[in-house]
Amino acid sequence: MSVQSQNHRDAWFAPFFKELLASVKPVFGTTAATPFIFPGTGTGGWEAALSNTLSPGDRVVTFRYGMFSHLWIDMMQRLGLEVEVVEGRWGDGAYEDKLADLLEKDTSKGIKAVCVVHNETATGVTSDIGRIRETLDAASHPALLMVDGVSSVGALPFKFDDWRVDVAVTGSQKALSLPTGLGIVAASDKALDARSSAKLKRVYFSFDDMLKTNKNGGVPYTPILPLLHGLKASLGLLNAEGLDNVFARHHRLAEGTRAAVAAWGLKLLCREPRWQSDTLTVVEVPEGLDSQKIVDTAFAKYNLSLGLGLAEVQGKVFRIGHLGNMDELMLAGALGGVEMTLRDVGLPIELGSGVGAALKVWQEGTPVIPTRECLMA
Amino acid sequence: MSVQSQNHRDAWFAPFFKELLASVKPVFGTTAATPFIFPGTGTGGWEAALSNTLSPGDRVVTFRYGMFSHLWIDMMQRLGLEVEVVEGRWGDGAYEDKLADLLEKDTSKGIKAVCVVHNETATGVTSDIGRIRETLDAASHPALLMVDGVSSVGALPFKFDDWRVDVAVTGSQKALSLPTGLGIVAASDKALDARSSAKLKRVYFSFDDMLKTNKNGGVPYTPILPLLHGLKASLGLLNAEGLDNVFARHHRLAEGTRAAVAAWGLKLLCREPRWQSDTLTVVEVPEGLDSQKIVDTAFAKYNLSLGLGLAEVQGKVFRIGHLGNMDELMLAGALGGVEMTLRDVGLPIELGSGVGAALKVWQEGTPVIPTRECLMA
Amino acid sequence: MSVQSQNHRDAWFAPFFKELLASVKPVFGTTAATPFIFPGTGTGGWEAALSNTLSPGDRVVTFRYGMFSHLWIDMMQRLGLEVEVVEGRWGDGAYEDKLADLLEKDTSKGIKAVCVVHNETATGVTSDIGRIRETLDAASHPALLMVDGVSSVGALPFKFDDWRVDVAVTGSQKALSLPTGLGIVAASDKALDARSSAKLKRVYFSFDDMLKTNKNGGVPYTPILPLLHGLKASLGLLNAEGLDNVFARHHRLAEGTRAAVAAWGLKLLCREPRWQSDTLTVVEVPEGLDSQKIVDTAFAKYNLSLGLGLAEVQGKVFRIGHLGNMDELMLAGALGGVEMTLRDVGLPIELGSGVGAALKVWQEGTPVIPTRECLMA
Amino acid sequence: MSVQSQNHRDAWFAPFFKELLASVKPVFGTTAATPFIFPGTGTGGWEAALSNTLSPGDRVVTFRYGMFSHLWIDMMQRLGLEVEVVEGRWGDGAYEDKLADLLEKDTSKGIKAVCVVHNETATGVTSDIGRIRETLDAASHPALLMVDGVSSVGALPFKFDDWRVDVAVTGSQKALSLPTGLGIVAASDKALDARSSAKLKRVYFSFDDMLKTNKNGGVPYTPILPLLHGLKASLGLLNAEGLDNVFARHHRLAEGTRAAVAAWGLKLLCREPRWQSDTLTVVEVPEGLDSQKIVDTAFAKYNLSLGLGLAEVQGKVFRIGHLGNMDELMLAGALGGVEMTLRDVGLPIELGSGVGAALKVWQEGTPVIPTRECLMA
């Protein structure tokens, strides 16, 4: 309607959008990068990252250790890149030593980019981007460092500037607790410079069109206004809580969940503690049990949405999310639901054991809500 | 706005409102009664019940065993009724034997009404209206039976017709999971007949003005349209779940909560099992502990709203609600919050003990969601 | 739900509600009065005004000149007051000279209250409360001055303190552009003092219970939280626009509408310019035409809600509202709808004549929106 | 949150999404085509259309007669297509005769696709796709016919099957009255077959990934759930009104607007009646007047959003939208706002002249709302 609904061509939009772009930077841990907001998903963000910086035939190194790293590799291949895949166990993170080997052999510096999924939602693994950067530095290798931060940015510490990331990608639907619909990208100056030589075709996901219009607070095509307003509100909530508190809360929720899993006598798919994700926990089920049955029962009987095991770990794991707008009591309820479900499918779990273990972590670790400290005087 | 917002004087309203009035009746368990929907609260519903049927100086018998029965008594007295109060322990229900005594002594049938709060939200007590009716019948007493069903109608079985209730009162904000704002009343023909002799003044809460306008689908003054739409939706959800399933769910939630309390080694304020409420559980705290501290800590540390002890039981109890749009996992989370809070204030509770006890009840008793049975095949 | 929805017993409520009560005062034009917010309608506010200050048998003087003054009189009579009604033409306001006569004759000062409907929504008439006060003063009469400001407070200048009003009543659903559900009352100290002698029964609408709880930011029974939040937002919008600008906008909208009616060759029901309402315009239809047909056609063909003629003026008038959250273009559309409808029912109106007359008023009188003045540089 | 928000991996999604895909087809006027719903904008839909069917260096013929056709051409060129642009006057539609010439010369049938913007939002022009199809048929030319229906599908008759369109593209934010965020595409079997030879890179906008997952009700990456629910509701509203009634309403609104423009003595940018758009009207301003001033004044003084003149017609035209969820009275208000604005900037318009001309069209042509016919008996 011409009269009533908001129009992004009216005068309010430019200052609103400029401020929004600026306010995206802290969740990436950057002051130096250039942010982009695409109408699309994180998958679109991946395409933006690759197509604005690379050319068909360019060599890239990446790691496959889960569904999402697998899908990104598939995209790289279909875009015509020459992809060197370091295969990993599903449940491990990016192997720094194998990367070091590849970089060492690349005496001609032909590798144009190293691509890493920071937090693998299929396996509950958080790779160590800081050590990936150290590995590149140790080899004095100039490859671009591209990071999929879709399920980490805004929930886990992400240090774009410290790690000297070149392109990082996230979406609206994970830590930002919004619907899907925004592919949010941060790019270093080095990444922006790579546009001039990048021969991959790009229009919809082109940095150029964004840069040209964004600088005056405009956009190259109609934006998703409700999501932009939602993004502003969501970033406002993160800031009100304090990013460090947000990270601490995710860590606390994850510690409780891991304590519950241990109390149940089950194993995490991610064996290596340094890689265990604070945004979701992926649990192996005992031999002979199909995890699909757990997911179905939880949904059918307790209205609880657990994550399925995907692809290679199908049937073997289930996933408990603790990302975004979640607190201890919601997660305690979910863990209670898991516990009942595990008994329903025949595991001899003692009811209360896992929840109790989590509560122990939380009773000790949960701070008083700052605005309510007066009640505790 | 004349153009866009809905107007209750337009043609859509009459059929909508007639259907809404009809759809209110099943939650009261009646086909015979006349329903009324007042813009106001349950307190307003009380005033409607009394002022449309009684005259100043009329004798009424009622029971005081909690904050809400106390407040209704206060209203009766201020309206000029002669109120015979049967005092009870806070934590007990309506004493049928004491009522029998009073009725027996009333050979002149001077008692005009017996008023009972069905579910005392201050104490977690559900009185037995069926036995109150039997007591009246045994005495062949013609007094009107008025029931406050504010926190029971729509959550607990309420049998207006079977119990031959004369006026029952509820509100939108409890079992119907809506905001406050509707006082919903059901009246028997006998109650309607009492209008002609009732001398209490009434205008806003008059049955007459409602009857005159309601019969054509109208209302005597502007209705709260969003709440009427909400009521339609809320009744639709109750019907979709099935009233019997709703009652069973509340019973199951309460059984789990009571199991948790027992596991903590604490006591219910309501000692008599037949009176224990299925919509909230009121827990006594050990001597020397102020329950305000529990309520404050739960809110400050875990964002959990527990109910305070009110009036006579101030400081001595806290209240756990499990009414309305709630399921096992939400309540498990809340019980987990209680458990942590109890430790926070110094009680040697084993974490997981209460939640585990509740989970045991629920794992066994929770049925598969009917629309999801295919997942369990 | 105990965990998630807001609870008015939690710590946030008291400061919120105290501030809300304070922020109600400017729309009444008072710094001295005590505000009350009842869950109910304006009709409930009327009952609060009368029952807290008067006793059965008390003499009150009031005026009947429309449906709403008529309904208030009905309430007064049913509450047992001795009501002296000054009958007026529907379309006139409160006759100050007739009031002067009555006051002069009342040498014993037996008249306890003078009650006036400020803005009669049935007839489009705004009585002159300032002159009513002057009339009382000229007679040195101590009667309480009670004013129904349901459809005026927040849209028309209301000067509680200047006019020395004793009780003023409004609702959430008119100038405040909210749903029905709040009866908002302001009372002078003199009105509060009258409680001690007032013998009318009151519980739900009692000032005492409110005063006792409000002073600490509490309420005597569950409040309608969404409407309280809405009230805060609505008062915020009025303040952002500026109350004087709000009044000016309503006057401008009314002037345009009256110009349209004149251009159509029709007459206002309100003949006396000083009484013509700025919140709605009531138009007489020519002899032989039933205004119901106009209302039905506008709704059936153009989705336009016009007001019916009520009671004495049924069939003879239709009503065009321009109250609350409305601007020139919405009203121009509505006037266009009236114009088409008038032709549809057979009146030889020239299409565009009325809208054009209104546009003339608005093109000259509408100021630039302050936040957009930069666009006009 | 794992517990509460909807998850597209749960069992409800597949039947919901399959039904949604099916229900998209009628607005395109097709039973045979395959629909796709991409998270993105109409611009993304363009990219999907081209990249799934064509190869770098392929010859395409298209027309430039406005901003949106210009932008699509820009995309074609940047994707590496060899684009033959038929330049047109901004305000004209696609020239069928020039297309005929090109096709005739193309004896080798080297032209792979003809691309047409159906409704040019920059100029208020609707090209005649039926005659484009006839032109192709007359030349027996096998080129794919691709149509941008972003601002037409769902508002103007679109006959995918009759016109034998190969790919049509629309978005959620125009006729569907939703926020931006869905690029909706329909493809013929011939277009789907073209995938096997199409060498343009595509991942995010690939038909293959959609086809593979959609057939089981899945999606290749996280969908924008709120927009999918919105799409269902929006299509439901279109169906409730009836697509033919929707088209008739847009035509009626446009006829009224054109009558207003004529009454003001102004000219449409689109001179040729057969091309005049029913979804927006673009008006030329007299020499010496900058249309920016009109747009700014309308927004600053009347809160009315008019469209700017874009690119080649910057400063020379303003645009009045009448697309989507709009009715006669809203548009009458907007026309009133234009009229006042035109006087504000110095044009000697008679106030009421344009609105009156529009009202004439609408009073005669507007049918009674079917559900309200009883009111007209």
Predicted pLDDT of residue D5? 55
Best mutation target among A1, A3, A368 (most C Cβ atoms within 10 Å) is A3
Task: Say how far apart CA C59 and CA C76 lie, in whole Å.
Answer: 10
Predicted pLDDT of residue C3? 32
State whether residue D356 is helix, strand or coil.
helix
Beta strands in chain A (DSSP E): 34-39, 59-64, 82-87, 111-117, 119-120, 125-126, 144-148, 167-171, 182-187, 267-268, 280-284, 317-321
Task: Say how far apart CA B371 and CA C291 lie, in whole Å.
Answer: 52
Predicted pLDDT of residue B4? 39
- In D, minimum Cα distance to A172 occurs at D224
Q: Are strands C280-284 and C317-321 parallel, antiparallel or unpaired?
A: antiparallel
DSSP for residue A349? P
Predicted pLDDT of residue A9? 79
Please write the tens of the pLDDT for every residue from B270-301.
Answer: 999 999 999 999 999 999 999 999 999 999 99
Best mutation target among D290, D325, D351 (most C Cβ atoms within 10 Å) is D351
- The distance of B356 to chain C (nearest Cα, Å) reads 19
**Locus of tokens 């030349």:** D139
Q: Which residues partner with D200 through β-bridges?
A: none
- Least Cα distance to A317 among A366, A283, A292, A342 occurs for A283
Complete DSSP assignment for C252-321: HHHHHHHHHHHHTT-EES---GGGB-SSEEEEEPPTT--HHHHHHHHHHHH---PBPP-GGGTTTEEEEE
D79 CB within 8 Å of a chain A CB? yes
Predicted pLDDT of residue A210? 97
Q: What is the mean pLDDT of residues C95-106?
A: 98
Please write the tens of the pLDDT for every residue from A223-240.
Answer: 999 999 999 999 999 999
Q: Tell me if C31 sits within 8 A of C21, measured CB to CB.
A: no
Report chain C's terminal Cα–Cα distance, integer Å.
Answer: 54
Task: Say how far apart CA D374 and CA B12 lie, in whole Å.
Answer: 12
- Least Cα distance to C70 among C50, C38, C43, C33 occurs for C43
The number of C-beta contacts closer than 8 angstroms across A and B is: 142
Q: Do D79 and A42 touch (CB under 8 A)?
A: no
Q: Is B91 left (phi over 0), alpha (psi -120 to 50) or beta?
A: left
Q: Which residues partner with D317 through β-bridges?
A: D284
- The distance of B148 to chain D (nearest Cα, Å) reads 33
pLDDT surpasses 60 at A41: yes
- Least Cα distance to A220 among A233, A211, A230, A231 occurs for A211
- Least Cα distance to D219 among A231, A66, A227, A180 occurs for A180
DSSP for residue A370? G
Predicted pLDDT of residue A221? 87
Task: Say how far apart CA B317 and CA B297 lie, in whole Å.
Answer: 14
D47 CB within 8 Å of a chain C CB? no
Mean pLDDT of chain D: 95
Starting at the earlier edge strand, list the strands of the sheet with C182-187: C34-39, C182-187, C167-171, C144-148, C111-117, C59-64, C82-87
Task: Say how far apart CA C145 and CA A321 lie, in whole Å.
Answer: 63
C372 CB within 8 Å of a chain A CB? yes
Mean pLDDT of chain C: 95
Which residues of A, range 9-38, sit inside 8 Å of D by Cβ?
9-11
The number of C-beta contacts closer than 8 angstroms across C and D is: 142
Name every chain B residue with its beta carbon within 8 A of the beta carbon of A344: 363
- Least Cα distance to C262 among C329, C328, C335 occurs for C335
Q: Which residues partner with B186 through β-bridges?
A: B35, B168
- Least Cα distance to D210 among D186, D190, D228 occurs for D186
Please, which residues have CB within 8 angstroms of residue B245's CB and are 6 or more apart in sequence? Answer: none
Q: Chains contacting B with at least 3 CB pairs below 8 Å?
A: A, C, D
Question: C220 — phi, psi (to 5°)?
Answer: -75, -20
Task: Say how far apart CA B335 and CA A110 lie, in whole Å.
Answer: 59
Name every chain D residue with its beta carbon within 8 A of the beta carbon of B372: 11
Structure tokens at B377: 């095949």
Q: Tell me if C211 sits within 8 A of C48, measured CB to CB.
A: no
Q: Do B356 and A357 touch (CB under 8 A)?
A: no
Q: Do A375 and C3 touch (CB under 8 A)?
A: no
User: Exposure string (b/e) for A185-200, b if CB count within 10 Å is 16 or more?
Assistant: bbbbeebbebbeebeb
Report chain A's terminal Cα–Cα distance, integer Å.
Answer: 54
B225 CB within 8 Å of a chain C CB? yes
Task: Say how far apart CA C181 and CA C225 lie, in whole Å.
Answer: 11
Q: Do D320 and A2 touch (CB under 8 A)?
A: yes
Domains by residue range for chain A, with CATH? 13-240 (3.40.640.10), 242-376 (3.90.1150.10)
pLDDT surpasses 90 at B221: no
Please write the tens of the pLDDT for every residue from A322-361.
Answer: 999 899 999 999 999 999 999 999 999 999 999 999 999 9
Beta strands in C69-166 (DSSP E): 82-87, 111-117, 119-120, 125-126, 144-148
A223 CB within 8 Å of a chain D CB? yes
- The distance of C344 to chain D (nearest Cα, Å) reads 7
Mean pLDDT of chain B: 95
Q: What is the mean pLDDT of residues C227-245?
A: 95
Q: Is A319 exposed, middle or buried (0-12, 13-18, 19+ CB in 10 A)?
A: buried
C312 CB within 8 Å of a chain D CB? no
Q: Are strands B267-268 and B59-64 parallel, antiparallel or unpaired?
A: unpaired
Q: Do B11 and D375 touch (CB under 8 A)?
A: yes
Q: Is C217 exposed, middle or buried (0-12, 13-18, 19+ CB in 10 A)?
A: middle
A5 — pLDDT class (breaks 50, 70, 90):
low
Q: Do D11 and B375 touch (CB under 8 A)?
A: yes
B3 CB within 8 Å of a chain D CB? yes
pLDDT surpasses 60 at B5: no
pLDDT surpasses 50 at A3: no
Helix (H) / strand (E) containing B115: strand B111-117
- In A, minimum Cα distance to D73 occurs at A203
Task: Say how far apart CA D204 and CA D43 lie, in whole Å.
Answer: 13
* Residue ranges of chain D with per-residue pLDDT less than 50: 1-4
Query: For residue A353, what are the CA distances in angstroms to A252, A333, A335, A347, B351?
Result: 18, 13, 10, 13, 9
State whether residue D302 is helix, strand or coil.
helix
Name every chain D residue with its beta carbon within 8 A of the beta carbon of C297: 375-376
Q: Look at chain D and count its residues.
A: 377
Q: Do A376 and B296 touch (CB under 8 A)?
A: yes
Helices (H) and strands (E) in chain C, counts: 12, 12
A237 CB within 8 Å of a chain B CB? no
Q: What is the mean pLDDT of residues B205-225?
A: 95
Higher-pLDDT residue of C4, B111: B111
Within 10 angstroms of residue B16's Cβ, the number of other Cβ atoms is 17
C353 CB within 8 Å of a chain D CB? yes
Within 10 angstroms of residue C105's Cβ, the number of other Cβ atoms is 10
Q: ipTM score here?
A: 0.94
Report which residue type is found at B306: L
Q: Do B201 and C7 touch (CB under 8 A)?
A: no
B292 CB within 8 Å of a chain A CB? no
Helix (H) / strand (E) containing C30: none
Name every chain D residue with its beta carbon within 8 A of the beta carbon of A224: 179-181
Predicted pLDDT of residue D68? 95
Name every chain C residue with its beta carbon within 8 A of the beta carbon of A332: none
Name every chain A residue with its beta carbon within 8 A of the beta carbon of C372: 11
pLDDT surpasses 50 at A187: yes
Please write the tens of the pLDDT for every residue from C287-328.
Answer: 999 999 999 999 999 999 999 999 999 999 999 999 998 999
Please write the tens of the pLDDT for every residue from D180-210.
Answer: 999 999 999 999 999 999 999 999 999 999 9
State whether residue D370 is helix, strand or coil.
helix
pLDDT surpasses 70 at B36: yes
Name every chain A residue with its beta carbon within 8 A of the beta carbon of D327: none
Please, which residues have CB within 8 angstroms of residue C192's CB and are 6 or more apart in sequence? Answer: C34, C207, C211
Predicted pLDDT of residue C12? 87
Q: Do C179 and B226 touch (CB under 8 A)?
A: yes
Best mutation target among C1, C2, C3 (most A Cβ atoms within 10 Å) is C3
Complete DSSP assignment for D119-180: EETTTTEE--HHHHHHHHHHTT---EEEEE-TTTBTTB---TTTTT-SEEEEETTSTT-S-S
B322 — pLDDT class (breaks 50, 70, 90):
very high
Report which residue type is found at D335: L
Please write the tens of the pLDDT for every residue from B118-156.
Answer: 999 999 999 999 999 999 999 999 999 999 999 999 999
Task: Give me the residue from B333, B359, B369 closest to A301, CB to CB.
Answer: B369
Please write the tens of the pLDDT for every residue from B243-261.
Answer: 999 999 999 999 999 999 9
Predicted pLDDT of residue C377? 81
What share of chain B has pLDDT > 90, as a percent? Answer: 93
CA A339 to chain centre: 27
Name every chain B residue with its beta carbon within 8 A of the beta carbon of A359: 336, 339-340, 351-352, 355
C304 CB within 8 Å of a chain D CB? yes
Q: Which residues partner with C10 through β-bridges?
A: none
Please, which residues have CB within 8 angstroms of residue C222's CB and are 6 or more apart in sequence? Answer: B41, B42, B171, B173, B180, C8, C39
Name every chain D residue with its beta carbon within 8 A of the beta carbon of B375: 11
